[in-house]
A and B are shown apart, each in its own frame.
Chain A
């Protein structure tokens, strides 16, 4: 019995040690590789640096019309964001008229905001570089069929655009060289089409014809539409953080976490002796479990999230404290250590469940109502509470019984009594 318990305990310690090593440094066995935690968790904007903007569409549309409009805006944003070549950008609709754009790792945040929020990045340019009209002037761009059922893209400009376009096409159509008659349609820096002016367009109704299939015509029309935001967007919330500030925040919070955890270990071991050692092991397992769940959920680590983790570590110890205090009482009543563990756990159980469920209630409500960083905080709190109940009730009990079975001491002094 005794030898068996010692072996099991040692095996657990070795596995735990290995897990901690893996968490910090990663592991490589043959072709199988595990990345260290630092690299495999998603870091929020506040840790990685970057920018987020919440835009609100200035429109009175509702229902299906609004949905369509917002989808169009998201489409335009996606194209613009894709062209920046970032990792893990995210564009999400928030509520009815709002869109949140998150761009982690952006170097020049202000440039980035400019690029996304610009109403038009589509330009119609002549051969000598003169900008005739921009995407803001394009009201409609649609694929359709023209003369002889040939696929084409028809465009409609606003009043200002129609005027400018009439003036430019009137001038270009008389140019002697074919190259000079071309109008380049440029989206960002790419030429997406370069039709030749064949006649003056007086009324703002132009069409691009050529070797289109209906598919290529639709694509071009979509690209032209994407060049212009269909609605005015107001920037109602922005946050930009540089990577250095974020890294610094991460570094300092991790340091705080280390100090806090070491203190908890020392405190528990000095105050509760053998159970304290068990609690420290359980806390280590707790942190590994929380990290694991957060990785499995692909949750994002944010600064408030780290604060919640540290807080929940403090609270995780609480369950152990409740149990150990109960055990001490039972031992003082004259029960054996073994019997005290059982009744201590049993009596502490309702306390732990009730107190944690009430905390859980506020965590869930926080998650439901919160946005952005507050949500990160709530997720961590919920995961933390669930994991702490598991480690306190199951892991601690198992380890304590194991240790008692090792018959390390006959007295009760080492149980903090």
Chain B
């Protein structure tokens, strides 16, 4: 296997996805969930399919920019996302209109979530803080257990994974919300797990070689860990896909970024992290040679 030598190919594949995501994100904008912006989400069981136009007759009175989608296999549940955070009285009024128009029960208001704008800001900053702290923690741990070259390569591979997930969100127009943040943090944990296993192999192989050839050692280590990387990702992916297919809306919000993240994580630990490490090492060696 010549994974390290062909690194330009792997880096280009990732680069392409990132650029497509970035361009689409700039053109269409990113879909940010109401828990970040503040707003109201209501899910109402209508017992039959109703065209969005008809639903807008009611919702336009409250928020003209409301986002309406029909859920469920028979598309009989409407999900309304509004950018204003309506209080209990106002939500009652909105549901009341649906209730009289479509003759609904109290129980047919399946779900209602409301987030004030200050909460959104807080969730966002906490999420960022969590990500930054996790990265610092991992950086410290890997430096302590391995050495800095591994830590910096692992963190760069991680950033790659998160960016890929973000790019996929921009491409697929999925809303970025707080389950997304939890998912991103899990991806951090999962992808680093994958990368560490390969790095552990590199560390071990180092002990048995006399002539130091970073490319060769990295390639061998990737090959030795390959079956494991694929098998593990496969078992995790299957459970996640089962969750995505069978799960309800809230579960899907978790499962999707995780699926993308596991794919990106496996890809990056094989094709990105180790080639990066080789580059870091060769640069360090070059510097030392020049100092001499």
Contact of A356 among B113, B138, B193 (CB under 8 A): B193
**A99 → chain B closest CB, angstroms:** 14
**A379 → chain B closest CB, angstroms:** 12
**B90 → chain A closest CB, angstroms:** 10
Please determine whether B239 and A236 come into contact, CB atoms closer than 8 angstroms: no
Main secondary structure of the interface of B (DSSP, over half): helix
Please determine whether B137 and A240 come into contact, CB atoms closer than 8 angstroms: no
Q: Does B273 contact A (CB under 8 A)?
A: no
Please determine whether A358 and B138 come into contact, CB atoms closer than 8 angstroms: yes
Report the Cα distance A304→B89, complex, angstroms: 29
Q: Does A398 contact B (CB under 8 A)?
A: no
Q: Does B17 contact A (CB under 8 A)?
A: no
Q: Does B9 contact A (CB under 8 A)?
A: no
**A416 → chain B closest CB, angstroms:** 10
For B88, the closest partner residue in chain A by CB is: A113
**A345 → chain B closest CB, angstroms:** 14
Please determine whether A361 and B138 come into contact, CB atoms closer than 8 angstroms: yes
Q: Does A31 contact B (CB under 8 A)?
A: no
Q: A235-B114, A253-B251, A365-B130 are in contact. Are A264 and B204 (CB under 8 A)?
A: no
Q: Does A303 contact B (CB under 8 A)?
A: yes
What interface size band does chain A fall in?
A: 35 or more
Q: Which of A46, A244, A304, A360 is packed against the most chain B CB atoms within 10 Å?
A: A304
Please determine whether A365 and B137 come into contact, CB atoms closer than 8 angstroms: yes
For A249, the closest partner residue in chain B by CB is: B248
Please determine whether B88 and A307 come into contact, CB atoms closer than 8 angstroms: no
Main secondary structure of the interface of A (DSSP, over half): helix
Please determine whether A369 and B251 come into contact, CB atoms closer than 8 angstroms: no
Report the Cα distance A304→B181, complex, angstroms: 12
Contact of B115 among A56, A110, A237, A325 (CB under 8 A): A237
Contact of B243 among A239, A307, A325, A362 (CB under 8 A): A307
Q: How many A-B residue pairs have CB under 8 A?
A: 231
**B146 → chain A closest CB, angstroms:** 8
Please determine whether A239 and B113 come into contact, CB atoms closer than 8 angstroms: yes
- Per-residue CB contact flags for chain A residues 303-323 toward chain B (1 = under 8 Å, else 0) read 110111011011101100110
**B173 → chain A closest CB, angstroms:** 22
Q: In chain B between 121 and 145, which residues have their CB closer than 8 angstroms to a CB of chain A?
A: 126-127, 129-130, 133-134, 137-138, 141-142, 145
Besides A253-B243, A369-B126, 8 more A-B contacts (Cβ < 8 Å) are A109-B112, A241-B111, A244-B107, A263-B239, A268-B235, A317-B232, A351-B197, A358-B142
Instruction: Please name 15 pairs of A and B residues whose Cβ atoms are closer than 8 Å in the assembled complex, sorted by A.
Output: A110-B95, A237-B119, A242-B109, A245-B248, A248-B248, A268-B235, A307-B254, A314-B237, A318-B235, A356-B193, A357-B141, A362-B192, A363-B189, A373-B178, A381-B189
List B residues at the A interface (Cβ < 8 Å).
Answer: 43, 85, 87-89, 91-92, 95, 106-107, 109-116, 118-119, 126-127, 129-130, 133-134, 137-138, 141-142, 145, 178-179, 181-182, 185-186, 188-190, 192-194, 196-197, 200-201, 204, 224-225, 227-228, 231-232, 234-240, 242-243, 245-248, 250-251, 254-255, 258
9 A-B pairs with the lowest CB-CB distances in the bound complex, closest first: A260-B239, A314-B236, A236-B116, A359-B189, A256-B246, A355-B193, A355-B196, A362-B134, A361-B137
